[in-house]
Amino acid sequence: MSEYGTLQDRVRCTELMSKVMEPAQTIQFFKPGMNLGWSGFTPAGYPKVVPIALADHVEQNNLQGQMKFNLFIGASVGAETEDRWATLDMIDRRWPYQTGKNIAKGINEGRIRMGDKHLSLFAQDLGYGFYTENGRIDIAIIEVSGVTENGELIPTSSCGVIPELLQVADKIILEVNTGQPSFEGMHDLVTCLNPPNRQVLPITTAGERIGSTSIPCDMSRVIAVCESKLRDKGRAFTDMDATSEAIAGHIMDFFANEVKQGRLPENLLPLQSGVGSIANAVVGGLAKGPFKNLTVYTEVLQDTMLDLFDSGKLDAASSCSLSLSETPGFPRFFENWDKYADKITLRPLAISNAPEPIRRLGCIAMNTPVEFDMYAHANSTLVGGTRMINGLGGSGDFLRNGFLKIMHSPSARPTKTDPTGITCVVPKAPHIDHTEHDLDVLVTEQGLADLRGLAPKDRAQLIIDKCAHPEYKPILQDYFDMAKAQCLAKGVGHEPQLFDRCFKMQQNLAQNGTMKIKNWDIKVDLCED
């Protein structure tokens, strides 16, 4: 028995108790090549005991590469599940976002076929049946806190794509997690219908609820119920540093000026924040800043959101996931349940990231890219334009539809081969996830560039002036001046680029370990050390 009750306490639909089995007993249901859907989102609320049992089976029976599946999950899940599956060569296809050293290695080595997608579109398209030949998922494995008397599911720490999985899964396995408190009452669950009957999402405040706290499930499709006592591994907390705190300072000053100019109310507008040290610093800045009665409408809640609640300045938060750290985040949350739970609403991905409420609420979107170029195109996914990191995630959902669209990044990232690091401001991004049309503000520790209302060449100059690292600023300025002169002379100078040179900094990094080139001479292939 768990300190949080028994399986019998949680499964109030008594007919399901006849389907209770040990995780290893579910292996009989899985066949190579199956399409599988999991609950879970950035790693919270994902199934654990059944995926681990499958991995154990493959490892113990030397079935690596013989028992492979196609995985469809709302976002990343714990390394003890999918990253272990990657090491055992158990994944053929994976949509749409992942984290883990081994799964990324498998993707970049071509062993795992990954597809990337805006997360709101992934959820929607999964429900439309776009990802498999027959539009169906063979088995969905869903972690739940419990099952109501009438057979409705109560999710745990995330909602992910549970509604869509319940629409398209032929068979369902439930993992009932009794190793943590029940999350009953925290969710706002809606199953979006398919066009032409897709419904309005009338969310007018961040904390408003439009659905129910549990979701209907066809009990006849449930083939197994397994008890789990394993907690989410969670997202490791990323410490703030001087760079991230400087970026947060620029953003706080920008917010204050927007309030002064009358473009933002005194309590701002609902905030969306990505993950990482900069996001933590921004939320930390808000906890210490002058703004009160704040609200959050986002896809992940990190540890620093608890600090914002503790400051008394955050009234309500809506999210798809509690993306807390394994420690101290989740223990802190569970130990202070009464303090936080009634202020948090967990929604399915198709709602948390839907363009409609994001635009209606006027969300302030803040996310971190790999790099951005001088015209404000941003790369969030592919290092060097080819190496996948994690995936696009939900940043584009908010950056396309928000009231203010902000991207923040260090001006340079550390590297073993260059004391300054590599510049995050480049002439042209080698891969573009977010275009110039979607971004309003770019920020580094050097400064903030407000791009609203500026033509491309004006944007470029402001980005170089405000955002570039001092050691890279003259290199970027030389390129921009040269590109302007040559393109304008030919009458093609709206957004000047020289395609025979715009990637020369990246080429030099690949060959010589630094992005500091000596000149832009086309006759010099690369600049020697």
Active site members: 299
Is the distance from CB of 368 to CB of 409 less than 8 angstroms? yes
The angle formed by the CA atoms of residues 481, 486 and 489, to the nearest 5 degrees, is 120
Phi, psi of 403 (to 5 degrees): -80, -45
Give helix 277-288 / helix 303-310 axis angle, nearest 10°: 0
Length of the chain in terms of residues written? 529
CB 155 within 8 A of CB 143: yes
The closest of 39, 44, 42 to 232, measured between CA atoms, is: 44
Distances (CA, A) of 130 to 67, 94, 115, 205: 24, 14, 12, 32
Three-state DSSP at 12 gives: coil
Collapse the DSSP code of 215 into the 3-class scheme (helix H, G, I; strand E, B; otherwise coil) and give the result. Answer: strand
Q: For residues 108 and 24, what is the distance between their CA atoms, to the nearest angstrom?
A: 31
Burial class (CB in 10 A: 0-12, 13-18, 19+), 169: buried
Percentages helix, strand, coil for the chain (3-state, rounded to 5) are 35, 20, 45
What does the H/E/C string look like for 474-520?
HHHHHHHHHHHHHHHHCCCCCCCCCCCCCCHHHHHHHHHCCCCCCCC
How buried is residue 272: exposed, middle or buried, by Cβ count under 10 Å (0-12/13-18/19+)?
buried
CA distance 248 to 374: 21
d(CA 360, CA 300): 19
How buried is 237 (Cβ within 10 angstroms: 0-12 exposed, 13-18 middle, 19+ buried)? middle
- On whether the CB atoms of residues 352 and 41 are closer than 8 A, the answer is no
